[in-house]
Amino acid sequence: MVTVMIYTAFGLILFVAFALLALTQFPHRRATKTPQLLPGAALKARLLAGLLLVGVLIMAIWREGGGFGFLLWGSLLSLSACAVSLILGWWPHLLALLARLMLSLNSRHTTVRLDVKG
């Protein structure tokens, strides 16, 4: 049971990481009806996503050993990225909350509300 929860957690973290990456892109922000990020914030979001991806790899290898950990990470990577794509395609509003949260990455000095284009 613990194992199930840990694997689910790995999957969820990867899902969040990919969602962060996707939500730095204009079409997906438009789909979630949130304003665009500033370039600096997008970079921060991507760095955070990268950290999460690497973090799960390290945790998976630490828990499962080199072989299993790497395979588990690699296959969860594909699945969670697919999950992000499908959710953005069918129910983008589910990711609206995360997209709005990401706005706080816009640094305070230059908070400019950009209108949603198109």
Partner 1 sequence: MEQDFRRSMGWLHTWAGVVLGSILFAVFWMGTLSVFDSEIDSWMEPATRLPAATSPLPLETFRPSLNDAIAAKAAFWNVIMPDDRQAVVHVHYRTRQKFITREFDPVTGKELPNSGTLGATGFIFPFHYTLEIGLMNLGEWLVGLASMAMLALCVTGVIIHRKLFAEFFTFRPTKKPRRMLLDLHNMAGVLGLPFHIILTFSGLVILSTTYFPGSVKAVYPNPRGYFFEVNGLTFLPVKPGKAGASVASLDKAASYVRNVWGGAEPHTILVINPGTTTSRMAFFRESDRQVIVDRDVISFEGPTGKNFSRSPAPHPIIRAERFLSGVHLIQFHHWALRWLYFILGLGSCVLIGTGFLFWLETRRKTQESTFGFRVVEGLASGSVTGIIIATLVFFVANRLLFPNANLFGQDRATLEIGAFYFAWLATFLHGWIRPHRMWIEQSATIGVLAALAALLNWITTGDHPLRTLFHRYLWPVAGMDVVLLVGAALALLTTIRLSRRTRVPTPLNVPFGERL
Sites of contact with partner 1 (CB under 8 A) = 3, 7, 18, 21-22, 25, 27-28, 65, 67-68, 71-72, 74-79, 81-82, 84-86, 88-90
Among 81, 79, 87, 82, which residue's Cα sits nearest to residue 31?
A: 87
Strand spans (E) along 1-118:
none
In the complex, what is the shortest distance from the CB of residue 105 to partner 1, in angstroms, rounded to a whole number?
19
Torsion sign across C-alpha atoms 88, 93, 95, 99: positive
Encode 48-65: b = buried (16+ Cβ within 10 Å), e = exposed: bbeebbeebbebbbeebe
In the complex, what is the shortest distance from the CB of residue 7 to partner 1, in angstroms, rounded to a whole number?
5
Which of residues 22 and 53 has its CB atom nearest to partner 1 in the complex? 22
Which of residues 21 and 112 has its CB atom nearest to partner 1 in the complex? 21
In the complex, what is the shortest distance from the CB of residue 88 to partner 1, in angstroms, rounded to a whole number?
6
Which of residues 71 and 111 has its CB atom nearest to partner 1 in the complex? 71
In the complex, what is the shortest distance from the CB of residue 74 to partner 1, in angstroms, rounded to a whole number?
5
Torsion of CA 105, 79, 3, 52, to 10 degrees: -20
Which of residues 68 and 107 has its CB atom nearest to partner 1 in the complex? 68
